[in-house]
């Protein structure tokens, strides 16, 4: 190597994102076909089981499919119902389709004790295989609406959402797979044969130290009425990764974790009639409420969810398009809520 290119290599190597494999020396394979998702081109490996969380994440309206692969004979440590511990070797995949075309498939892989690999694969135009996306992500991955493009997040952004709680896994939890499935869940998929459930996991002996009455009393969000239940579930999945009191954001006591145990649910206690750190345009500092019953337009939660301006959109990353259905239902729910 010539001195110049040596120097260049040294400089590049010191830039974040360009450095070699930082995560315990493990790298994600270069092609999706090398990750173990498929047994042969276009044919899923039958050991990978499809599942669908009852409260999905909104991602610009993508149609999603998800699979989990638990190592043969291994079990999930399920003593802590809010944070299952997965055996080394566990893999999750999540596929995103827009307008009927596969765009990306994400991988979450417990490669070594304490090491989780995050990767996304962008599908080729022919739909035959997908290639590992660079560490910094891929803007312009697909058109989702006229003039609006879907961005594949970079690894730092994957970690921003996935590394907050005591587990990296967000959608494969006791509540998300509960047999007491919420029929009103926003964008929820109805149960269908072939989707792995809490019951399958118990019967197949995949859960160690789970409480004995897990199936008799499956996890469920405690709410007074069905619409409140659905909205709290939506917040838990879409906002709870960052807004949670066991890992609070500096100075914000906003808590969207579902407990399934407390009747008041923190998602209500920390929002309804509670002051926001954020000031809505036109309001005096310190007077904005997170949820102002009867008045969605003066509720920070509604306004920030409706925004897709870079400074105020919520969630701050992961989508370019606001979730119309969720906004309409939240709006109606706030409007109906009796003012104090």
Partner 1 sequence: MTPLTFRTALLAGLSFGIASAAAPDAQIRRGAYLTRIMGCADCHMPLKMGPKGPEPDLARGLSGHPEALVMPAAPEPKGPWLWSGAATNTAFAGPWGVSYAANLTPDDETGLGRWTEAQFLQIVHTGRHLGKGRTILPPMPIQNLQATREEDLKAIFAYLRSQPAVRNHVPTATEPAASH
Which positions lie near partner 1, rule CB under 8 A?
14-16, 156-157, 159-160, 164, 242, 249-251, 277-279, 281, 285, 309-313, 316-317
Decide if residue 158 touches ligand HEC (CB under 6 A).
Answer: yes
Contact 123, 130 (CB under 8 A): yes
158 by DSSP, 3-state: which?
Answer: helix
Q: How far apart are CA 129 and CA 108, in angstroms?
A: 18
Structural tokens at position 79: 């003593």
Decide if residue 150 touches ligand HEC (CB under 6 A).
Answer: no
Can you point out the beta strands (E) in 189-233?
207-208
User: Using the 8-state DSSP alphabet, how is residue 29 labeled?
Assistant: -
Q: 5 or 14: whose CB is closer to partner 1? A: 14
Decide if residue 31 touches ligand HEC (CB under 6 A).
Answer: no
Q: How far apart are CA 171 and CA 241, in angstroms?
A: 10
Secondary structure element (H or E) that encloses residue 10, with its range: helix 3-13
Cα dihedral across residues 209, 215, 221, 223: positive or negative:
negative
Minimum distance from residue 293 beta carbon to ligand HEC (Å): 15
> Kind of pairing, strands 148-152 and 138-145?
antiparallel
Decide if residue 300 touches ligand HEC (CB under 6 A).
Answer: yes
Q: 202 or 252: whose CB is closer to ligand HEC? A: 252
Total residues in contact with ligand HEC, by rule CB under 6 A: 45
Q: 220 or 304: whose CB is closer to ligand HEC? A: 304
Whether residue 315 is preceded by a cis peptide bond, meaning omega within 30 degrees of 0, is yes
Residue 281 binds which of partner 1, ligand HEC, none (CB < 5-8 A, kind-dependent): partner 1
Contact 185, 55 (CB under 8 A): yes
Residue 300 binds which of partner 1, ligand HEC, none (CB < 5-8 A, kind-dependent): ligand HEC
Minimum distance from residue 278 beta carbon to partner 1 (Å): 7
Segment interacting with ligand HEC (CB under 6 A) among 35-43, 81-89, 204-212, 276-284: 276-284
Decide if residue 102 touches ligand HEC (CB under 6 A).
Answer: no
Residue 171 binds which of ligand HEC, partner 1, none (CB < 5-8 A, kind-dependent): ligand HEC
Q: 119 or 201: whose CB is closer to ligand HEC? A: 119
Decide if residue 174 touches ligand HEC (CB under 6 A).
Answer: no
Residue 54 binds which of ligand HEC, partner 1, none (CB < 5-8 A, kind-dependent): none
Q: Which of 56, 188, 258, 266 binds ligand HEC (CB under 6 A)?
A: 56
Secondary structure element (H or E) that encloses residue 68, with its range: strand 63-69
Segment interacting with ligand HEC (CB under 6 A) among 4-12, 72-80, 116-124, 196-204: 116-124
Decide if residue 160 touches ligand HEC (CB under 6 A).
Answer: yes
**Cα separations in angstroms, 229 against 54, 214, 223:** 12, 20, 5
Contact 202, 215 (CB under 8 A): yes
Q: 146 or 282: whose CB is closer to partner 1? A: 282
Minimum distance from residue 12 beta carbon to partner 1 (Å): 12
Decide if residue 315 touches ligand HEC (CB under 6 A).
Answer: yes
DSSP characters for 86-151? PPTT-EEEEEEEETTEEEEEEEEEEEETTEEEEEEEEEPTTSS-EEEPPTT-EEEEEEEETTEEEE
Residue 156 binds which of ligand HEC, partner 1, none (CB < 5-8 A, kind-dependent): partner 1
């Amino acid at each position: 190597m010539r001195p110049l290119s040596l120097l260049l290599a040294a400089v590049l190597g010191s830039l974040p994102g360009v450095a070699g494999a930082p995560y315990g020396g493990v790298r994600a394979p270069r092609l999706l076909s090398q990750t173990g998702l498929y047994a042969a081109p276009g044919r899923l490996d039958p050991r990978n089981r499809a599942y669908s969380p009852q409260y999905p994440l909104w991602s610009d309206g993508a149609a999603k499919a998800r699979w989990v692969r638990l190592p043969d004979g291994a079990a999930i440590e399920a003593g802590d119902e809010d944070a299952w511990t997965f055996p080394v070797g566990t893999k999750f995949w999540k596929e995103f389709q827009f307008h009927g075309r596969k765009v990306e498939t994400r991988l979450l892989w417990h490669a070594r004790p304490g090491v989780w690999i995050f990767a996304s694969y962008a599908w080729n135009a022919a739909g035959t295989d997908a290639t590992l996306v660079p560490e910094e992500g891929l803007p312009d991955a697909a058109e989702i609406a006229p003039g609006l493009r879907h961005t594949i997040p970079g690894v730092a952004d994957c970690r921003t959402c996935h590394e907050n709680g005591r587990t990296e896994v967000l959608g494969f939890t006791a509540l998300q797979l509960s047999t007491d499935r919420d029929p009103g869940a926003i964008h929820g998929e109805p149960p269908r044969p072939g989707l792995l459930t809490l019951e399958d996991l118990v019967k197949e002996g995949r859960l160690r130290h789970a409480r004995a009455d897990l199936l008799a009393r499956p996890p469920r969000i405690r709410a007074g009425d069905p619409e409140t239940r659905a909205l709290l579930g939506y917040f838990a999945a879409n906002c709870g990764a960052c807004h949670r009191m066991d890992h609070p954001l500096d100075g914000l006591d906003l808590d969207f974790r579902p407990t399934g145990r407390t009747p008041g649910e923190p998602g209500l206690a920390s929002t309804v009639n509670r002051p926001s750190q954020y000031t809505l345009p036109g309001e005096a500092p310190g007077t904005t409420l997170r949820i102002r019953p009867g008045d969605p337009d003066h509720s920070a939660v509604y306004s920030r969810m409706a925004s897709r301006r870079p400074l105020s959109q919520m969630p701050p990353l992961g989508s370019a398009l606001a979730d119309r259905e969720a906004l309409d239902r939240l709006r109606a729910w706030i409007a109906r809520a009796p003012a104090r």
